Structures are given as C-alpha cells and as structure tokens.
Amino acid sequence: MMKQNEGTIDRVLRVVIGSFALLAGFFWLTSTVQIIAYVVGVVALFTGFVGYCGLYTLIRVSTCPIKKRTKPDYKITVLLSVLAVLILVTGTYASITITRKKFLEDFNRINGYYKQTLFLTGQTKRDEAKIQYDQLVSAYSDFKNKYEVYRPFVIRNDHEFSKDVARVEDIIYSVKEGVYTGDLPQTHIQLEAIRPVFQEMFKRNGFSMLSIALVDFHDIMEKLITAADAKDSETLLDVYPQADQTLQLIENEDSSPDIKSIRKNLTDLYDLAKTGKISDMSAKAAELKASFIKVYLQKG
C-alpha cells in the first residue's frame, strides 16, 4: 500500500498546477508543449489526489507531517476534488471567452485592412489602396501562421477553416497587380469575393455577424465624430460612404427601432455636412454615438 508522503499544502499545489496545466494544454497550447502540459496535468492531479509521490519515495523525501500514515484522508481528497472542479469550470469559461475574444481581435485586424482596401479600390484611390493592401497582406500572413497550427476552441471543430483561409489568401495575392497598376474597379469586384467567405466562416462557427458589423461601424463612426468635432465637413463627407455601407450590414442583421435611430442620426449628420451647417455637426455626432452605444451594450 502506498504511504502518503505529501502534506496538505503540497497536495493543494499539485491540484492547482495540474488543473491549470490541463486547461493550458486544451485551450492554449499546441504540438509538443501541449503533450507536456497534459502529462504534467495528469501526474500532478493524480499525485495530489492520492497524496503519494513516487519520486519522493526514491529520494526519501516527505512533506507529510505524519510520516507513517497509511489510510488516506478522504475529507481532504473531497475538498481537493471540489477545488479541481472549480478551477476547471471557471478556467474553461474564461479560456473560451478570452480565446474567442482574441480570435475576433485578430480577425478584425485583417478585416479592417480588407475593408479599407475594398473601399479605396472602389473609390479608385490607388495610392491609399496600395498602403492598405500591403498592411492587409502582412496582417493576413500573421493570421494564417498563427491559426494554421493553433485552433482556439471556437473554431476547433471547423473542418472548412483551413480551406477558407487558403481561398482568401489566393484572392488577396491574386489582386496585387490590380491594386498596384491594374483596373481598380475590377480589382474591387475581385476583392468582394472575400466577404462571403468570411461571412460563411463566422456563421458556421456561431459568431454573430451583427457584433462584428457593430465593431466595424464603431471604428468608422469615431472618424465621423472626430471630423464633426473639428467642423471638417469635407472629411466627414469622405468617410460617410464607409459608414453607410457598414450600417447597411448591420441593418441586414437587425431592423429594430434602435438600429433605425442610428441610421437617422447618421443621415442627419450627413445632411448637416452636405448643407454646410458645420456648427451643428458636433452635437449630432454625439447623438449618433449615444444611439450606437445603446445598441452596442445590448447586442455587441
């Protein structure tokens, strides 16, 4: 029979370390490091639960204050089990939430450059489009390198993910000549093919397209507000088409009165800039932001 050679603090530490190692292996790590985390987790949890460490026996060490205890202390084992469950449950929830959020942040980074490139090619602004395109290529390369190996829980069971990443990459690289020297309107049409791939990917994995569109609109709205506060109607009118296009995506997902309120404030702000009523733009921009925040807090 194994004699306990671990004290209570020792056992608690093993359970804590083991639980976090399993969480790290399942949600955060890949390849060899993931396997190591699983081994550490299982060994630490097992030895923590039973109160016996074979290595201690080999080197004749014990952290147990009762040197010759032969009967396990079931009360401590139960408490350790409860501790492990609490760590695993809360850690699972936190890991899913954080990795999902991080994935969205990484996606929104490339999506931001994509939308800018798409918009600028549509406006036939080659110099600006080239800058955004180069950033898109760099950001997408980073995204692919990260997620072709590491799969956060939210996309772990998506067997089409790799194919979608490759399809988008093919489109991005195929339009380089068009962005730099070719037909920009035609390049704009080619880039449009990326949008349905992204949409299908996110719908397939249970993401809300509304929340993504709201994040996109927020970034553009801030540009509008900055221009309105500076009484810069020219910049505001230049940015408006992007805001209008993004708000249409939101309206496709949600046609509630609160969304209509955003649309009204956006239209009113545009009209003020168009008619030269620059002194009223800042107040209307504040109304736009307030109507957006109301929706974002509920549905973002």
Q: What is the pLDDT of residue 1?
A: 56
Q: What is the pLDDT of residue 69?
A: 53
DSSP state of 280: G
CA 34 from centre of chain? 21
Q: What is the pLDDT of residue 247?
A: 93
Domain C-terminal end among 184, 207, 230: 207
Q: What is the pLDDT of residue 298?
A: 75
Q: What is the pLDDT of residue 233?
A: 94
Q: What is the pLDDT of residue 66?
A: 62
Q: What is the pLDDT of residue 36?
A: 97
State how far the Cα of 262 lies from the Cα of 236, in Å rounded to an integer: 16
Position 273: which residue type? Answer: A
Q: Which domain holds residue 105?
A: 98-207
Q: What is the pLDDT of residue 195?
A: 83
Where residue 125 sits, what CATH number does that domain have? Answer: 1.20.120
Domain C-terminal end among 192, 207, 222: 207
Q: Under a CB-based contact definition with an 8 Å cutoff, are residues 150 and 213 in contact?
A: no
Position 34: which residue type? Answer: Q
Domain C-terminal end among 207, 240, 274: 207
| Domain co-membership, 151 together with 162 | yes
Q: What is the pLDDT of residue 17?
A: 97
Which tokens go with 88? 């695993």
Position 81 in a domain: no
Q: Which residues of the chain carry a pLDDT beneath 50?
A: 68
DSSP state of 132: H
State how far the Cα of 26 lies from the Cα of 260, in Å rounded to an integer: 43
Q: What is the pLDDT of residue 84?
A: 96
Where residue 244 sits, what CATH number does that domain have? Answer: 1.20.120.660
State how far the Cα of 23 lies from the Cα of 29, in Å rounded to an integer: 9
| Domain co-membership, 183 together with 281 | no
The percentage of the chain sitting over the pLDDT mark of 90, rounded to a whole number, equals: 67
The percentage of the chain sitting over the pLDDT mark of 70, rounded to a whole number, equals: 96
